[in-house]
Structure 1
Amino acid sequence: MAETWNSAVRQKSRELHGDTWHVEFDDSITPDNTAPGWFHYISGSFAGFTCSLCKRYWASKRVQVIFHFSLNSASSLGTIKVRLFKQECKSCDEAHMEDPNFPAENIDVLVERLVGKIRMRCYKEDLGSSNRASKFYDKIEGPHESSHCEACRIGICSQGK
């Protein structure tokens, strides 16, 4: 999974002033607890889930993702920490929180939007109205299962509000 995200970041690297950025997954980051010198960005996208117990598949229209990012100017190295919010199967009594599976197209859009935030915050670029990112690949309708959504449980899911 990390390689898919790192590959998407590398594809956008020309917009990041020649600096090298890498992705790390960190399930402990929260939007209200950003380390000094770090910035945060929250977005969401369509993703699918598969229950590790019953193998049931379901899709969710808005799966939250938190990014924390920081640039070490001296070394030209940037770090992006990513937390993908999980969901649990509504059919299983003792369901586990399952990791989302984002379509590659949606990872590209999430990274495109993140790169815009990095350019504005780390490089002090004024993107103005040119900061219009692509749209997500989204093919589902239906209710959001707030009681099974990790992001809803901690109060950051836009669908649960």
Structure 2
Amino acid sequence: MTNQGWISIFQSKVKQLKMNKRDSWRIEFDDSIEANSLESGWHQYISGAFARFRCSKCNRSWSSGRVQVVFHMRLSSGQGMVKVRRLRQECRQCDEALMEEASFDEEKLEVLLEKLMEKIRIKCYHENLGKKNRHNFDDEDDRSPHESAHCEACSMGPLFKTSTKRFKAW
């Protein structure tokens, strides 16, 4: 999905929030955010999803069930902001391969952003959703091969290496 697709789905999910309707939320893509490096007042959510990649050098495509996405979120004076970093992968067949952007299908993106809304409700609105309403990422697609040597998240260290084994968001 394109950035505009992310924004569209995000805005439809925000409308479904049963919160203070005066709050407005926006999403932006920021490749400079880092896991566990938060500014004051921000909250973090890291999740993973199934996505596809295409090499810009050889046009090879591949899928991965372990594509990490880092969200930083905050609500301040009725203005909500979510910053997103989608971690990339490189082609295993090309020399000097570029890190490629993931392409998420709409269904997977809907699930990912629904889980983000749950985190917003918990972290920004202090709702207690209870364990029964929390979703875990447990999809048959997470069994697809994962090559750590070509993964941006895995190259960033142990936080991501352990979280790519199984995505448990809670």
The aligned amino acid for 1:11 is S
Q: Is the 8 A contact 2:52 2:104 kept in 1?
A: yes
> Paired residue for 2:154?
152
How far 1:10 moved relative to its partner?
1.6
Q: Matches of 1:140 and 1:125 in 2, distance apart?
A: 29
Gaps of 5+ in 2: none
1:73-93 Cα shifts (integer Å, max 9, x gaps)? x2x221100000000000000
Q: Is the 8 A contact 1:46 1:106 kept in 2?
A: yes
* Residue 47 of structure 2 corresponds to residue 46 of structure 1: no
Q: 1:60 aligns with which of 40, 64, 67?
A: 64
Note the 1:74-85 alignment, pairs <5 A: 74=77, 76-85=78-87
TM-score, normalised relative to structure 2: 0.85
The aligned amino acid for 1:159 is T
TM-score, normalised relative to structure 1: 0.90
The aligned amino acid for 2:43 is F
Give me the CA root mean square deviation. Answer: 2.0
Q: Secondary structure at the match of 1:40?
A: strand
Distance change >3 Å, CA 121–CA 159, structure 1 → 2: closer
Gaps of 5+ in 1: none
> Paired residue for 2:40?
36
Count of aligned pairs = 159
Q: Secondary structure at the match of 1:107?
A: helix
Q: Percent identity?
A: 46
